[in-house]
């Protein structure tokens, strides 16, 4: 009997401790996927304010990668992995003069292509992906970059982020919202999502942001995260969203 009473007492103590800890824990901002109707209404109202301010601050938001057509942006986006846009732009200045079509990349000498893109890092893997992607474009799409996200994500090495960048910035197709590391960070700090997976973050944002704003919203959040809401030292005192931002996770 003593053991049973001791067990019950332990459970009761544990329950009370958990309840106190839960009470002390800060309330998390609701995410779009699980928010109540009232919470969702308030989130959307705040998002409208965020959109207005981002459009004023970044009226011409677009990738900082230089390109003149969808294929160039697709290649540049592949090269930008683990590399700065500035360095990619230096490499593509000569690269795009030499390779003008998907067929050019598909038929390129692998070693030479690797050498040409070497400054971007991980050049062997990137060269492999670019040639696989180029062959798929030639064989499946007549050498043209497709205009749907379903077709784009069938290309080797192309996920939703890359597809959304190319479709949105180069074609004006609102297929989704770009979620890179900057958007991932800023969206969570703004309390628009609690998700960590990029695809789930995108789904939350797509519920909150009107489709007509998908392209600009993603592109402007990238710039805002790159220059204002930075990873280590966010410039909250200079931020146009400071008064509507719960600063989730910011010390």
Q: Hey, which residues are catalytic here?
A: 161, 180
Determine which helix (DSSP H) or strand (DSSP E) holds 17, and give its type and residue range: helix 2-24
Helices (H) and strands (E) in the chain, counts: 12, 0
Q: Half-sphere exposure of 197 toward its Cβ, with a 13 Å CA cutoff?
A: 3
Residue that is written with structure tokens 């998390």 in the block: 28
CB 120 within 8 A of CB 87: yes
* C-alpha span between 213 and 54 (Å, rounded): 11
- C-alpha to C-alpha distances, 21 to 18, 29, 194, nearest whole angstrom: 5, 18, 20
Residue matched to tokens 């600063």: 247
Within 92-141, strands assigned E span none
DSSP 25: S
Cβ neighbour number for residue 67 with a 10 Å cutoff: 20
Dihedral class, residue 245 (left if φ above 0, else alpha if ψ from -120 to 50, else beta): beta
């Amino acid at each position: 009997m003593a053991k049973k009473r001791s067990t019950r007492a332990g459970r009761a103590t544990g329950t009370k401790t958990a309840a106190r800890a839960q009470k002390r824990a800060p309330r998390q901002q609701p995410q779009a996927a699980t928010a109540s109707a009232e919470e969702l209404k308030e989130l959307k109202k705040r998002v409208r304010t965020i959109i207005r301010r981002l459009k004023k601050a970044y009226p011409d938001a677009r990738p900082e990668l230089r390109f003149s057509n969808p294929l160039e942006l697709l290649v540049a986006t592949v090269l930008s992995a683990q590399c700065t846009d500035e360095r990619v732009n230096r490499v593509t200045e000569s690269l795009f003069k030499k390779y003008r079509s998907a067929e050019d990349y598909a038929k390129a000498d692998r070693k030479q292509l690797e050498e040409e893109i070497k400054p971007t890092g991980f050049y062997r893997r990137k060269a492999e992906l670019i040639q696989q992607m180029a062959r798929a474009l030639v064989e499946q799409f007549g050498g043209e970059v497709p205009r749907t996200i379903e077709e784009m994500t069938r290309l080797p090495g192309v996920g939703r982020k890359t597809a959304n960048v190319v479709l949105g910035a180069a074609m004006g197709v609102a297929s989704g919202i770009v979620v890179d590391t900057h958007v991932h960070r800023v969206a969570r700090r703004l309390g628009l999502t609690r998700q960590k997976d990029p695809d789930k973050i995108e789904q939350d944002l797509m519920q909150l942001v009107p489709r007509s704003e998908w392209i600009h919203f993603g592109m402007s959040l990238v710039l805002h995260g790159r220059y204002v809401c930075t990873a280590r030292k966010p410039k909250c005192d200079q931020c146009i969203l400071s008064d509507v931002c719960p600063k989730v996770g910011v010390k």
